[in-house]
Structure 1
Amino acid sequence: MAAAVADSLRQRILNGELPPGVQLRQDALAEQFGISRIPVREALLQLEANNLVKIMPHRGAVVTGVSLEELEDIFQLRGQLEPQLLVVSAMHLTPADIQALRAVASAYSDTLAGGEVLRWGELNRRFHLDLLRHAQRPRSLSILSGLLQDCDRPTRLQLSTVGDMARAEQEHGRILDLCEARRIDEAAAALRAHVEHVGAALVAIYRRVLADA
């Protein structure tokens, strides 16, 4: 029973229905699920182990996430770092690399269409890192990997609208087309625009959530 509650809450957190900062009260959840508080408490402990909630004294469980300021910082750094790395990496992308990237982009599109929330972040992160893997700058790539991990869950929030899903698919495809055509400066500009759009959309969502809190 605890596992079922944890799975339900996990999905709601990952799809943005329960955004960062929301308090999860054991008594309210027990009533909602029609169970006692014991399995609810166990479910919240499971979510805390997955770093999806933090159990705080006198407040109970609170959904975790990055702050608005951290989010703005993450996307500012990504907007600077990723285009620079692409300029170096794109020159070394082979036809096999492009084909593999298109397969990742296709799988990403399938998960968006199928609502497979848990895989969105994984495939998005893989697409961006594989695109830049030939940059031969391990420290920069390590930093970028951490930034992508930090904005994994917030990005799912941005992808919760059909328009942003379609735009993400189109922008990934456009970046690959430009790389394949060796129009590298245009590809870097397209990547920067993609990152900036996602960041702006997320900041707007966060500000709405804060205004409604």
Structure 2
Amino acid sequence: MSSGTTPPPAGPRPPARGEQLRHRTVSAAVADALRQRILGGALRPGTQLRQDALAEEFGISRIPVREALLQLEASGLVRIVPHRGAVVSGLSVEEIEDVFQLRALLEPQLLILSARGLTAEDYRDLRALLGEYKAALCAERIDLWGELNRRFHLGLLRHAGRPRSLGIVSGLLQDCDRPTRLQLSLTGDVARADREHTTLLDLCEAGEVVAAAALLRSHIEHAGRALIGLYRSVEAAGA
């Protein structure tokens, strides 16, 4: 009979590799579903996302839900607030003003640097993208407006040769996603947005780069003013 010591009691079994992979796969699917609701406006800024309710809705445990919320927090769509848990994030009026001022400063400068490098293929791609954007505007596919707008703006600036500035602009456009869709849907500015995008492309292709940069600045400033006006009217109504 062995006189060895009794082994300590086994602790909690670590998740098997397949179980970890399953959690990651499920959490990614939940994150994507919640991301679409947030970007589509179904989940408004300030909405509390309760882990137990989401776990019940999706028919899963709370572990992948928690992982999904952490993914959304990393992308800036959700904030983890003490005593409240996960809350859908949103921008204040001051933040909206800051974002649009930065865009109005950076994007025209980058367009001047980029426009002369745009190729015939770039113009074909950008016009095809404008076709998608116009179709989405006409079909009132609000969920697509922000992403298509972002792709168009970045497409115009792609040859600027300023990767750090482009990274900043990309982040600003991501921040503008939901506010831009709100501004377009509530102000009826869809026709103006489509017209100005088309004119921007025409000016660049014609070599009228300075005029294109001036229009881009005006385009951004108008959207910012309209959106700030909307936010302030909502604040006033709730006061």
TM category, shorter:
0.7 to 0.9
TM score, norm. by length of structure 1: 0.78
From 38, 56, 69, the counterpart of 1:39: 56
Looking at structure 2, the residues matched to 25 and 181 of structure 1 have their Cα atoms a distance apart, in angstroms, of 50
Aligned to 1:118: 143
Aligned to 2:183: 158
Aligned pairs (5 A) from 1:1-213:
13-16=38-41, 19-20=44-45, 22-24=46-48, 39=56, 49-51=71-73, 52-54=77-79, 56-59=81-84, 62-161=87-186, 163-211=188-236, 212=238
Instruction: Return the letter of the residue paired with 2:72.
Output: N
CA displacement 1:106-140 (0-9 Å, x = unmatched): 11111222233332222111111110111111111
Instruction: Return the letter of the residue paired with 1:133.
Output: R
Gaps of 5+ in 2: 1-28
State the 1:38 CA deviation: 6.3
Instruction: Return the letter of the residue paired with 2:177.
Output: D
Identity level (%): 57
RMSD: 3.0
TM score, norm. by length of structure 2: 0.70
Which structure would you say has the larger RCO, counting Cα contacts within 8 Å and 6 or more residues apart?
1
The count of corresponding residues between Structure 1 and Structure 2 is 200
Structure exhibiting the larger radius of gyration computed from Cα positions: 2
Q: After the TM superposition, which parts of structure 1 deviate over 6 Å for at least 4 consecutive aligned residues?
A: 9-12
Looking at structure 2, the residues matched to 25 and 81 of structure 1 have their Cα atoms a distance apart, in angstroms, of 35
Q: Which has the higher helix share?
A: 1
Looking at structure 2, the residues matched to 164 and 105 of structure 1 have their Cα atoms a distance apart, in angstroms, of 16
Gaps of 5+ in 1: 27-35
